Amino acid sequence: MIAGFGLALVDILLNVPGKIILNQKHVVSQEMLQIGGVVPTALIFLSRLGLDCNFHSAGTQDSLGKLISNFLSSEKVKFEPIKKNGETPTAAVVVEQSTGKRTGFYHLGAFVDLTVKDMDQIKFKPGSKFLLIDAHNFDCSQALAKKARSLGLTVLLDLGSYKKSAEKLIKEADVVFVPEAFCQAIAPGQDPAQVANKLQRQGPKICVVTMGESGSYVASRGQVFHQSAVKVKAIDTNGAGDVFMGAFTYGLAKNWPLPKTARFAAAAAAITCTKFGKIQAMPKSEEDIFNFLENSD
C-alpha cells in the first residue's frame, strides 16, 4: 500500500503554438482539464502499475472538488478527503508547443486551511510501506512525515519550487526529490552532484536532484551517480517530475538497485513528455516502460 498527502488541483492545460510573450494574446491549439499535483499524479502512475494507493488532501464540495474525486476514482486511487469549506485548488498551465516547456499559475485554495490537528484524521492502512508528500503545507507535511516514520513507513518528499520552509522538511524524509531550480536557490553555481551529496548528509537515505533533459543525480551513502535523461521529442513536460517520483517509488517498492530504479524513472518521465496531457501520456505498465527503454538504447 502506498499512501500520499499533498496538494491536488484541477489543471486548466493550454497548448500555445507560438512562443509565449508577455503583453500579447495567444491562440490556443488545444485545451484540457486534468488533475494536477505531484503526489496525486505519482499515485495515479503507481496505481496503473498495479499498486494499491490511497490519497489524503483537502476535500471541497464544489464542482471542481468533485472533478478531482472522479479523476482519482477513475484511476483506482482511493481518495480520503479531509472536508474543508472554501475553493478547490486550481492551476492554469501553459505549454509552449514548439519546445514542450511550460509555465503555470496556481491557487492553493482550501489546502492551506489544513492544520496539524487535521492530520489526526489520517490513518495508514495495514501494510502501508511508503508515504509520498509535498512541501505546499509545511506544518501538515512535517507532522505526517514524523507520524509515518514512527510507524515504519518510508517517507518520500518532493520539494517543488523553492520555499525557505521546505528546506526544513529535508531531515524528515527518507528520500527527497530536489528540482534543479531549488538547488540553484540554496546553492547558486554549485555542482548538482555536490548539492545532492550535501543534502543527503542532512538526513535522507537518498537524495535525487532532478534536472529535466539533463537527467538526475542520485546520492546515497555518500556516493553519487548520474542518470541521463531518455531522449524524446518533448510535446508537454508538465507532470514529468511527478511521474519520475512515482516511478522511483515503484523501484524502491520492488527492491531494485538504485541505478535500475533511476533508469526506470527516467524512462517513465520521458514517456510522459511525448503527448499533450500527462494523464494521456503516462505509461500504463512496467512492460511499456522496459519496452520503451529497449527501443531507446
How confident is the model over 267-285, as pLDDT tens digits?
A: 999 999 999 888 889 999 9
- Starting at the edge strand found earlier in the chain, the sheet holding 53-59 runs 78-83, 53-59, 2-5, 130-134, 154-158, 175-179, 206-210, 216-220, 223-227
Q: Three-class SS of residue 5?
A: strand
Cell numbers for 202, please give them.
Answer: 542532512
- Residue 246 CB burial class (10 angstroms; 0-12, 13-18, ≥19): buried
Each residue's pLDDT tens digit, 6-22: 999 998 989 888 888 88
pLDDT at 237 (0 to 100): 85
Write down the mean pLDDT value for the chain. Answer: 92
Q: How confident is the model at residue 297 (pLDDT cuts 50, 70, 90)?
A: low
> Strand 9-16 to strand 30-36: parallel, antiparallel, or no bridges (unpaired)?
antiparallel
Under 8 Å between Cβ of 139 and 11: no
Under 8 Å between Cβ of 79 and 73: yes
Each residue's pLDDT tens digit, 221-235: 889 999 999 999 888
Cell numbers for 193, please give them.
Answer: 552532484
User: Against a cut of 0.75, is the pTM above it?
Assistant: yes
Q: Three-class SS of residue 152?
A: coil
